[in-house]
Structure 1
Amino acid sequence: MKSSSSKKRIIINLIFILILLLPILLYSFKFGFGIWGNHSEWAEMGNAIGGIYSPILAFFTLLVLAYQTSFQAKADEYNYDITYIQDNKREFDSYIDKLELALEKPVDGHHTVRDFLHKQVEQLGPDELKSELSLK
């Protein structure tokens, strides 16, 4: 089974082809279509077809430009989001590095802040640790 998006695209393409063929078919039905011997008849047909197709093609061009503008806006939003995430990741990594340096500072000659914090946490039981960590 084809997806609804695929069916929708096929229907849009068929409508597009029908819109492009309809002026020629109507002109042929009304005035006939063939090889005319008179230059003015060719000019009349060209004028009629050009007058009909110009607004149709201008409208389709407008639709394409609107689609491209929408697509570009989505791409710009995506790029902004990616840049925002990358900037925040760099900032977060910077804070982690600063924390790492702070934890490695010596408290006394032999122990670091990290060692001191580990020792403090190990001395507390699970219930005491929960009460220490809860917001007051």
Structure 2
Amino acid sequence: MKYILVGGTGLLLISPILVYLYQFGFGIWDSHDDWAKMGSAFGGIYAPILTALTIYLLYKQLTLQREMHDSQVRLNVIRDTKDKAKETIRAIENHLNLTNGQTTNFEFLSHILTSDEDEWLMPFWFTNKTLKVNFVWLFSQLDTMKTLSDSHVEYLVAYQDLVVNSLSQFDSHFLKLLEAKGHIRAPNSIKHFS
């Protein structure tokens, strides 16, 4: 396509010269009027051609700049989301490692999720609101990246990276249980760890 466009443009630019040479011949004219007529003919032919070519090139340049801007915006969103997700994962990990009596929050929450003692879940979240907010935020970012991954591959890579980062910090069984029974997600929401 690129070669056809370049070849067509070259042919478009050279054809008026060839037609002029065919019609009036090649030579150096003695008369100033002959030179003026030739210049006027070429100017009249090339001005619209070059104007159209310039408009086309400006259009292509604007299109490429818009694509680059959109790509940069996507990359900035992804970078910011990944940075915030890493901070959130660290905050969750720190909060889960806090000791509540003789057990850590992680051990206590894991026990609640693996047992049928759902009545302990609401009091746990009530006393650990920051932890719940961080989990809700993390899952919402996973949802967003998963939804956007259908439109651009950059989002798919970011989504997979967030899943891998989450799995590297927390046990996959724990995340599956939290997703299914943790009361931090709607029952019909996207499953990331199942």
What band does the TM-score fall into relative to the shorter chain? 0.7 to 0.9
Is 1:81 aligned to 2:74, yes or no?
Answer: yes
Partner of 2:150: none
Structure 2 CA distance for aligned equivalents of residues 133 and 31 of structure 1: 88
Query: Which amino acid counterpart does residue 116 of structure 1 have in structure 2?
Result: F
Aligned residues: 121
Shift of 1:65: 0.4
Query: Which amino acid counterpart does residue 68 of structure 1 have in structure 2?
Result: Q
Larger Rg: 1
Partner of 2:108: 116
Shift of 1:62: 0.5
Higher relative contact order (CA 8 A, sep 6+): 2
Partner of 1:101: 94
2:45 to 52, 74, 82: 52
Structure 1 CA distance for aligned equivalents of residues 5 and 67 of structure 2: 23
1:30 to 10, 23, 46: 23
Structure 1 CA distance for aligned equivalents of residues 113 and 73 of structure 2: 42
Query: Which amino acid counterpart does residue 104 of structure 1 have in structure 2?
Result: N
Moved over 6 A (4+): 121-124
Partner of 1:42: 35
> Secondary structure at 1:37's aligned position in 2?
coil
Partner of 1:17: 10
Shift of 1:56: 0.6
Across the aligned residues of Structure 1 and Structure 2, the Cα RMSD in angstroms comes to 2.3
2:83 to 72, 90, 113: 90
- Deviations 1:73-128 (CA, angstroms, capped at 9, x unpaired): 110110010011111112212221221121121111x432223345566778xxxx
Structure 2 CA distance for aligned equivalents of residues 121 and 25 of structure 1: 84
- Deviations 1:18-75 (CA, angstroms, capped at 9, x unpaired): 1001111111122222111112211111111112111111110111000011111110
Partner of 2:60: 67
> Secondary structure at 2:103's aligned position in 1?
coil
Q: Which runs of 5+ in 2 are unaligned?
A: 117-176, 188-194
Identity %: 33
